[in-house]
Amino acid sequence: MKKFLLTGLIALCLVPVSTGKPAYKNPRLPEEKRVEDLLSRMTLAEKVMQLNQYTLGRNDNVNNIGEVVGNLPAELGSVIYFGSDPVLRNAMQKRAMEESRLGIPLIFGYDDIHGFKKVYQISLGQACSWNPALVERMCAHSAREARRSGVDWTFSPMIDVARDPRWGRMSEGYGEDPYANGIFGAASVRGYQGAGLSSQDAVAACLKHYVGYGASEAGRDYVYTEISRPTLWNVYLPPYRMSLEAGAVSLMSSFNDISGVPGSANRYTLTEILRDTWGFDGLMVSDWDAVRQLVNQGYCKDLRTASATAIKAGVDMDMMSHGYDTFLEELVESGEIPGSVLDEAVRRVLRVKFRLGLFEHPYTPESQPQERFFLPEAMQTAGELAAESMVLLKNDGVLPLRGVTRIAVVGPLAKNPSDLRGNWHAHTQPEEVDVFLDGIVREFPEAQVRYAQGCDVPAESRDGFAEAVALARDSDVVIYCMGEMQNWSGENTSRSSIALPRGQEALLEALKATGKPVVVTLTNGRALEIPRVDELADAIVETWQPGVNGASALAGILSGRINPSGKLSVTFPWATGQIPIYYDRHKSGRRGTQGVYKDITSDPLYAFGYGLSYTQYVYGEPRVVGTASLSRPFTVEVDVCNAGEVDGKEAVLWFVSDPYCSVLTRPERELKYFEKKPIAAGAVETFRFEVDPARDLGYLDAQGRYFVEPGEFHILVGDKDLKLDLR
Ligand code: BGC
């Protein structure tokens, strides 16, 4: 602290005396002028402190053990803010504004992942809605809650392509497809930042975890990833590029070692791609302790070296490693880090603070919780998102339920508010969650709805089976709510098997043996291995972890008030041993019965894009409007008829296949566009894919250069395949 005062005094003497307010405090000046003015006034110690993030308040991430609120320096750059009201924030901000020499505001970050005080559907489920406009709306509500509670910056969206459901963090992203992650990532960014960063209704988005974290070997968290350059460019980077194009102002560097160079020390990804190729001028924060972990990963011999390596690679802010605050000053003074490297990192932190309007409005207006939480429009969005993201996986005709007067609701997820919230449940309390049982009771007012838990989630005891089976016998239908605990997915929750506990399956067998129809609902944060459930259940509804307002959505699907429209954003394997299994795989050298498993099927249980509804959609033959060529955009259309008797919404997924490519082999098919629209019973809707050959038909080489070869292409939609010869 003494050092701060001394360097502060010296700097004060060096700044030319002026009567007006300094340029950086003038909101009418261009951002860069303000940044440079402020930078020129800062001492080395002040610059270094801007590059650190500590914690403030109760830490609710069980994977990160942080220090309790201590005496945080007023010159600090950022805190992770674990509070949910503005008071503590404002008190800390007051220190930064009034006790630091230059009055630089803090930026308050938090993991507002799928909701703040009111959790929504988890991201993996959101993607099954194929409705990015709805996700954008949800993020806008979430941003409003967070910003008005004192949070300026959310560590979201996570856009890590995930193809291994053993990796618990699959729940946090938008599934296995690069394009879907990009579209939903961009929608989230627009939702979070849309109102304008300086608005009390917006937060800065943070794309994470840059990059390749989803490729964690064997689904174990934090470990090595082996990613070839073509795979990096074609699979893991596109969601980032798309979300940056939507305006994201920050990213988080990842934990994983990317083929020998960890994500938080990787100059190629952090600087050459992000800054030099894509021109990103915003902020890169490390993941929690990721700088220190460079030592554990064997890339740096100590924290001092790790800090020098990370900042030189392009990590601007150190989240909780305490390497930058401990070593950066001496590293700059000794010339081991050029001053220009430090300045560049500081510029990026300051820019985001200026963009957020923090210099003009450092404090959060102190509103009442009811002014910002559980607003009717937000609850409505939560309900719509839950409904559109649930996926009907099987239906032997039992759904929608008709003429039932006695309903048995059974299972560990039926009356279980905790696990419906998902892993990042932020400030949501269990009592704020509407449980499935209550939704079903409301939905079927004429029926007798009775409940028996049967077993808990781990299902080690069968003591409750008899009661559940007796109830089933005395009912017209059984709704059996199976699934995972919320902390079985998320960070640090890798599992070697993705099957549900054997006891839950055993209860299903017992219920089925009663001869009553059994509707299974699934609540989980990953793709599951459930062939036995598929065999026994009469119907299956995948609900994911729908948050506070999922009960009416599920009940509406059961009754037929809602026609299910979700489709899977991730492949469900038939067995864990098939992993990795994903739709956009490359072709094999041998076909037919060669190269497939000899003991089980090689097909998934439920494929990517699969999902049933209460109506039938019939796809016409896709057609080109005008002339298709490689030299200019063209349109492909398809008519989709709702041939059933109920109105619905259909998500139409457009894939491209380039069957022969002399530079690099390509996946069998690649998702390039999707759109969801309502189609009334009996009506026909035309869906259009505006093909831009410079964006949709080509591929990236190992250097990230786009190329497209003339010849045969296929546009695949529904069950149809349009072959084109493109020149
Ligand atoms: C997680 C990040 C999260 C950060 C702060 C880390 O452990 O990997 O996703 O944003 O903690 O809570």
Per-residue pLDDT tens for 517-560? Answer: 999 999 999 999 999 999 999 999 999 999 999 999 999 999 99
Report the alpha-carbon distance of residue 65 to residue 288 in Å, rounded: 10
Q: Is the Cβ–Cβ distance between 482 and 504 less than 8 Å?
A: yes
Region for residue 99 given its phi and psi (left: phi exceeds 0; alpha: psi -120 to 50; beta: otherwise): alpha
> Would you give the DSSP letter of residue 235?
I
Out of 60, 79, 111, give the residue to mutate to test ligand 1, the one with the largest number of ligand atoms within 8 Å of its CB: 111
Token pair listed for 310: 């990370």
Q: Which atom of ligand 1 is nearest to the CA of 208?
A: 9
- CB of 172 shorter than 6 A to ligand 1: no
Catalytic residue, candidates 287, 584, 658, 696: 287
Question: Which mutation among 63, 64, 122, 250 tests ligand 1's pocket best, with the greatest number of atoms within 8 A of CB?
Answer: 64
The β-bridge relationship of strands 477-483 and 518-523 is: parallel
Cβ–Cβ under 8 Å, residues 53 and 79: yes
**Do the beta carbons of residue 33 and residue 347 sit within 8 Å?**
no
Cβ of 287 closer than 6 Å to ligand 1, yes or no, is: yes
Place of tokens 């009940």: 555
Beta strand pairing call for 391-395 and 539-542: antiparallel
Q: Does position 174 have pLDDT exceeding 60, yes or no?
A: yes
Q: Is 343 a catalytic residue?
A: no
CA 721 remoteness from chain centre: 31
Is the CB of 63 inside a 6 Å radius of any atom of ligand 1? yes
pLDDT in tens, 280-322: 999 999 999 999 999 999 999 999 999 999 999 999 999 999 9
Instruction: Quote the ligand 1 centre to 715 CA distance (angstroms).
Output: 39
Residue 612 backbone zone (phi > 0: left; psi -120 to 50: alpha; other: beta):
beta
**From the CA of 225, how far away is ligand 1's center (Å)?**
18
Q: Is the pLDDT of residue 687 over 50?
A: yes
Q: Whose CA is nearest to atom 10 of ligand 1?
A: 155
Q: Is 155 in the pocket of ligand 1 (CB under 6 A)?
A: yes
Q: Is 434 in the pocket of ligand 1 (CB under 6 A)?
A: no
Percentage of the chain modeled with pLDDT above 90: 94
Measured in angstroms, how far is the CA atom of residue 489 from the centroid of ligand 1?
14
Ligand 1 and 208: CB distance under 6 A: yes
- Peptide bond between residue 211 and the one before it cis (omega within 30 degrees of 0): yes
Number of the ligand 1 atom closest to the C-alpha atom of 109: 5
Distance CA 677, CA 513 (A): 40
Which pLDDT score is estimated for 9?
44
| Spatial separation of the C-alpha atoms in residues 421 and 118, rounded to whole Å | 9
Q: Does ligand 1 have an atom closer than 6 angstroms to the CB of 64?
A: yes
Question: Which residues does 114 contact at the CB level (< 8 Å), separation at least 6?
Answer: 120, 121, 122, 123, 126, 142, 156, 422, 424, 547
pLDDT digits (tens, 9 = 90+) for 558-567: 999 999 999 9
Residue 63 is predicted with a pLDDT of 73
For residue 195, name the pLDDT band (cuts at 50, 70, 90). Answer: confident
The residue among 117, 8, 633 whose CA lies nearest residue 368 is 117
Confidence of residue 67 (pLDDT cuts 50, 70, 90): low
